[in-house]
């Protein structure tokens, strides 16, 4: 059974940093791209970032480019999202998702709140 | 690619047919268009990929159609568990989601 376990969310001041993790199991992690998708309170889904199988290619939404960094460790079956210079508008539930689309598996989400 | 879903809210009854629209600002390459269902407090669930292919375990009352810039998700007979929010996503040119359609009783 495919499982994606998101973690690392929390409450942070504007300008602060957080690192999200997503631990994968139940499939050949090193054979799939991975993505992060977020959902602000009461809003729709927004793609954030994706990373290729090897990690050599990374892609970002314009809103987070230059502030967020996606990475992966295939030896640990884990994908990360380093979030720096956080803004109030980054407040959301962050989901990791298998592949670059379509996403047939999702994590349960981890909540990030940016507030003073 | 910007995706526009309509209507924003669809008010129907159990057993009725639901037709949800997703329009793209430009042609979606290879019709790489997916549909997701999301219930409150849960992660999205993949329903349809490639515009018309049902994902594993999805009931056949869900069907997808369309090509180019106009896509449709049809729920042939609404079950009580189907009253929730639906999103389209294109994955042919980067990734983007539509704003969602809420199907309510």
Percent of chain B at pLDDT > 70 equals: 100
Contact B94 A107 (CB under 8 A): no
Question: Residue B82 pLDDT > 90, yes or no?
Answer: yes
With 0-12 / 13-18 / 19 or more C-beta atoms within 10 angstroms meaning exposed / middle / buried, residue A68 is buried
Question: In this predicted structure, what is the pLDDT of residue A46?
Answer: 98
Under 8 Å between Cβ of A10 and A18: yes
Average pLDDT value over all residues in chain A: 97
Question: Residue B95 pLDDT > 90, yes or no?
Answer: yes
Question: In this predicted structure, what is the pLDDT of residue A2?
Answer: 95
Instruction: Tell me how many helices (H) and strands (E) chain B has.
Output: 0, 11
Average pLDDT value over all residues in chain B: 97
Average pLDDT for B99-104: 97
Question: Residue B98 pLDDT > 90, yes or no?
Answer: yes
Residue B15 backbone phi and psi in degrees, to 5: 95, -15
**Token pair for residue A57?**
């290619």
> In sequence order, which ranges of B14-102 are alpha helices (DSSP H)?
none
* Chain A nearest CA to B63, separation (Å): 16
Of B87, B91, B100, the CB nearest to A101: B91
What's the pLDDT tens digit per position in A25-58?
999 999 999 999 999 999 999 999 999 999 999 9
Dihedral class, residue B31 (left if φ above 0, else alpha if ψ from -120 to 50, else beta): left
Q: What is the dihedral of CA B104, A40, B36, B77, to 10 degrees?
A: 0
What's the pLDDT tens digit per position in B45-63?
999 999 999 999 999 999 9
Question: In this predicted structure, what is the pLDDT of residue A102?
Answer: 95
Cα–Cα distance between B47 and B18 in angstroms, integer?
A: 15
Under DSSP, the state recorded for A74 is: T
With 0-12 / 13-18 / 19 or more C-beta atoms within 10 angstroms meaning exposed / middle / buried, residue B35 is buried
Contact A100 B89 (CB under 8 A): no
Three-state secondary structure call for residue A91: coil
Percent of chain A at pLDDT > 90 equals: 97
**Token pair for residue A71?**
């990475």
A76 pLDDT tier (thresholds 50, 70, 90): very high
Question: Residue A67 pLDDT > 90, yes or no?
Answer: yes
Is A3 part of the contact surface with chain B (CB cutoff 8 Å)? no
Of B46, B56, B100, the CB nearest to A103: B46
Residues of B in contact with A37 (CB under 8 A): 97
**Token pair for residue A40?**
């602000």
Question: In this predicted structure, what is the pLDDT of residue B52?
Answer: 97
Question: Residue A10 pLDDT > 90, yes or no?
Answer: yes
Question: Residue A101 pLDDT > 90, yes or no?
Answer: no
């Amino acid at each position: 059974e495919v499982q994606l376990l998101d973690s690392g969310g929390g409450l942070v001041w504007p300008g602060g940093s957080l690192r999200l993790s997503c631990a994968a199991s139940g499939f050949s992690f090193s054979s799939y791209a991975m993505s992060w998708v977020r959902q602000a309170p009461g809003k729709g889904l927004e793609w954030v970032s994706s990373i290729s199988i090897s990690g050599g290619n990374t892609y970002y939404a314009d809103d987070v480019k230059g502030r967020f960094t996606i990475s992966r460790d295939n030896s640990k079956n884990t994908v990360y999202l380093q979030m720096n210079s956080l803004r109030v508008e980054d407040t959301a539930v962050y989901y990791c998702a298998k592949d670059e689309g379509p996403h047939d598996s999702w994590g349960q989400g981890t909540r990030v709140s940016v507030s003073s | 690619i910007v995706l526009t879903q309509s209507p924003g809210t669809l008010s129907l009854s159990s057993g009725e047919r639901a037709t949800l629209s997703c329009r793209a600002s430009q042609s979606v390459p290879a019709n790489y268009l997916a549909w997701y269902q999301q219930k409150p407090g849960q992660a999205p669930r993949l329903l349809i990929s490639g515009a018309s292919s049902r994902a594993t375990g999805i009931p056949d009352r869900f069907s997808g159609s369309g090509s180019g810039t106009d896509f449709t998700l049809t729920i042939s007979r609404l079950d009580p568990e189907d009253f929730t929010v639906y999103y389209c996503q294109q994955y042919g040119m980067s990734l983007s989601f539509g704003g969602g359609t809420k199907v309510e009783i």
